[in-house]
Structure 1
């Protein structure tokens, strides 16, 4: 099933759409369409956005494979269900959507850079000691929420060796389990993150090389400055006469620290700027799911108005406290179904009202519906006039309405529970997206505070030069802190900056061309099921796995 959203930004009366979908159905409105001479769907939009669904047999752009291990042995979902031990759940993503691009005189496959975000909700009574490769874990006490991230195909696009930089194309979760069971998992696939990248300033290898050289030089100075800072402060502990020289080194190092923290803060702010796209995409999918559920209930004659915030209470209220409109709808549906059963049993229509009253009385007395209908059948055969009379008792209509409402609630309960369960599964994933974006925002806020602190450190070193003799008792604390700073800066260089600059070594122009080609392939992929000429679009996919139930 494919869901499409035609955004009517200009409030047009009609919208033309091209799609390869079959069985197209509007899921969030009453707008209809006609086919024109060019085999285009022309929607009677009247200024509104159009949300529709359809079916297609086309292969998905990314294959998702889920595999399991128990105590190191590969097992199937059926085999691991209900078992205990050390479990591994692995999601492998294989990108199949590519365009052929000429790079350096050679035609190569460039894959659409889909970002894969997989969400799981693990019951803490079943899973413990949870860890994840290529993901993040959030624990609320009752559940462990895992959000995994991968970029399948990007390693090949950039032609990078994994020993230099490994770009994830899988997510793996390990945990100790008791009586293994797993709820439905959801994976969001989207290429919108790459569509916002501006490659206009990345014109040549020289441009990038100059920036990388400057970054390498600055990092070397920062490492040297932090090491000198630590050495100077250690000397001050035993040789207070060299205090002034040590403070000079502190001042030089603080300048470098300020520059480094400013760069870190800028990078985190770039991540924050992408949060809106990610949350908007997840919210759009949630709205489409809510529209589908609303449409399913509407097709059965039941009115509901669902939002992210109210879907659970709104659906539960159908069973506990429906409003007057819903009561009338439920009563009418059940009354029609009951009369169809009476007709199938060959009961004459003049007896219907009496049969309903007697059925209500017997059900209230604790009889099952089958037992009640059997006894009523005997009354019809022996004394049909008595059955007719039962329909004339005072309050007969109220009795029948109450009966039909209760029967409707019983019939509707499985559908309501199934809808809530499906929406809860996606809500877990959606809350994980919100938690991830909030975490990025918190990191950026913390970085801003660190940057402000570095500026205060720089300003303070000027005063240290004038009052060095008064600060000797505090030098010991500064020495401990500066060692941690030097170690941290070296670790940042070894694990991040040096690898980044190393990538630019032999064929920097080729790397520039590959980055630009990847972005271009992403921007050109606008639709899965077809799109009108000249129209813009974006694509998101939701992968859903079956629940694994313990026996």
Structure 2
């Protein structure tokens, strides 16, 4: 379970890196729908109507938030990706968005009883709209020059010691009661933020509760945390030892010496825990040990960002929303594919030891080196009277039979044991679905091949050294997360608060709305306006 959790967290962290460093809208693209000619000879789309209602619907939502340099919300736009298992069906959807439009095909929704009915020519549809609802995470940004607070309009063109304070506020909260006491918990969400600072203009760059990477011409500063975790769990009050203190801090400070200040966009991504997958031991925490698992996984998310070639990822993703969408989709599909076939994968993996592979390889090699047809003819030859003439050939054939027999004796226990394991109903189900699984795998591999440069750029992220480091963090979480000093009452309160906090996060999976039975996930991306000098400065 912990290895599966690591896989999900790493995938989520990869997805977050892709989101934060790419902030482009979806382009409009015509699908292979039926086209006819209108009266003046121009192509005209004819929309189909389907009566079969889609049974399995997945709604993935990305919320794009445009901010002023201070963090005030200017515009909230939403892109929803509807996916179903089969084409030529109707999806019943609901949405409070305004100005809804299909962004990748010509299909328009049919409004019936206040619901959006999408007739799906293919299995995927993307639509966008505008929301007048404030996002749950507020980001407050303040600027200081030589310890004096200045507005974005004033700071443009100034020089001196710069300080930028970034304070996220999680406004999605609820009241809980644990052990007769009332607490306020916020919906747990992972925040990742960052910006690029040119080194010719900025020097002596540092960031509290974050990190920076330089390529000689610019520095990328970024940070990650869980805003509201301190208030929700009261970690500092309980003196719980945590390796990464940045996760419980709700303020990030960038400092530098600047000349002629201007600044590009700041980017932020917010991911609810429901979009990450299993946190901790896979269920809601009941004990302090379960809480340790949760906190260990939370800090693992932050640790996983180290080692990324962020500069290259920026260059690869900037302005290309298709790469972002395709890679996020492939990551999600790969996780789902693993979950659906986990037992089959683990069963095969258990038999693919170096020793077993060597035995199978020897059998295959000996088979390739044997003239099977000639061997068969020799052993089945009924001509007894020619036996003496065949002795040399028969001798060679019997030698080959002996070799193959020894090989089979080595391999048969493996095959017999595997055969027994394959009778498991869960494995049988995976085998029955193997054609669909292979088709999905082919789609994933196509995306991977098309984005090989991007894969290489994040190669260090999944390197052996990094994987070992991640595993070591998990194995030694007891060393870094100590709750030994808690009283029984404090331990019970912490477990209860963590359970409610995590349950809150796992239940939040849509910003707009969805129909009953639909699966969903949501990610928020924020982008500030750049700060430039007026023409008269």
3-state SS of 2:521 partner: coil
1:22-421 aligned at under 5 Å gives the runs 22-37=98-113, 39-161=114-236, 164=239, 166=245, 167-192=248-273, 195-198=277-280, 204-205=286-287, 307=323
Distance (whole Å) between structure 2 residues aligned to residue 269 and residue 115 of structure 1: 11
- 8 Å Cα contact 1:268/1:440 also seen in 2: no
1:416 alignment partner in structure 2: none
- 8 Å Cα contact 2:263/2:530 also seen in 1: yes
How much does 1:183 deviate? 0.4
3-state SS of 2:79 partner: strand
3-state SS of 2:480 partner: helix
> Deviation per CA, 1:278-315, whole angstroms, max 9, x where unpaired?
99xxx9xx999756xxxxxxxxxxxxxx6569xxxxxx
1:547 alignment partner in structure 2: 530
How much does 1:49 deviate? 1.5
- 8 Å Cα contact 1:81/1:180 also seen in 2: yes
Distance (whole Å) between structure 2 residues aligned to residue 43 and residue 23 of structure 1: 16
How much does 1:96 deviate? 0.5
- 8 Å Cα contact 1:271/1:440 also seen in 2: no
Structure with bigger helix share is 1
Distance (whole Å) between structure 2 residues aligned to residue 433 and residue 59 of structure 1: 35
Distance (whole Å) between structure 1 residues aligned to residue 483 and residue 454 of structure 2: 30
Alignment TM-score, normalising by the size of structure 2? 0.51
Task: From the superposition, tell whether residues 434 and 129 of structure 1 become closer, same or farther in structure 2 (CA, over 3 Å).
Answer: farther
How much does 1:152 deviate? 1.1
3-state SS of 2:197 partner: strand
Q: Which runs of 5+ in 2 are unaligned?
A: 1-76, 326-452
Task: From the superposition, tell whether residues 537 and 307 of structure 1 become closer, same or farther in structure 2 (CA, over 3 Å).
Answer: closer
Task: From the superposition, tell whether residues 7 and 290 of structure 1 become closer, same or farther in structure 2 (CA, over 3 Å).
Answer: farther
3-state SS of 1:529 partner: coil
From the CA coordinates, give the structure whose radius of gyration is larger: 1
Task: From the superposition, tell whether residues 502 and 25 of structure 1 become closer, same or farther in structure 2 (CA, over 3 Å).
Answer: farther
Task: From the superposition, tell whether residues 89 and 442 of structure 1 become closer, same or farther in structure 2 (CA, over 3 Å).
Answer: farther
3-state SS of 1:539 partner: strand
Task: From the superposition, tell whether residues 124 and 203 of structure 1 become closer, same or farther in structure 2 (CA, over 3 Å).
Answer: closer
- 8 Å Cα contact 1:26/1:50 also seen in 2: yes
3-state SS of 1:147 partner: strand
How much does 1:78 deviate? 1.6
Distance (whole Å) between structure 1 residues aligned to residue 525 and residue 181 of structure 2: 35
- 8 Å Cα contact 1:15/1:45 also seen in 2: yes
Distance (whole Å) between structure 2 residues aligned to residue 43 and residue 82 of structure 1: 51
- 8 Å Cα contact 2:195/2:222 also seen in 1: yes
How much does 1:504 deviate? 6.9
Q: Which runs of 5+ in 1 are unaligned?
A: 213-265, 292-305, 310-430, 452-488
- 8 Å Cα contact 1:77/1:548 also seen in 2: yes
- Residue 518 (structure 2) aligned to one of 496, 521, 535: 535
Distance (whole Å) between structure 2 residues aligned to residue 438 and residue 511 of structure 1: 36
How much does 1:195 deviate? 4.0
Alignment TM-score, normalising by the size of structure 1? 0.49
3-state SS of 2:525 partner: strand
3-state SS of 2:120 partner: coil
Distance (whole Å) between structure 2 residues aligned to residue 272 and residue 185 of structure 1: 19
- Residue 19 (structure 1) aligned to one of 95, 98, 107: 95
- 8 Å Cα contact 1:70/1:87 also seen in 2: yes
Task: From the superposition, tell whether residues 207 and 28 of structure 1 become closer, same or farther in structure 2 (CA, over 3 Å).
Answer: same
- 8 Å Cα contact 1:272/1:440 also seen in 2: no
How much does 1:112 deviate? 1.0
Structure with bigger strand share is 2
> Deviation per CA, 1:173-216, whole angstroms, max 9, x where unpaired?
1011111110011111111465421556666437569x99xxxx
- 8 Å Cα contact 1:10/1:47 also seen in 2: yes
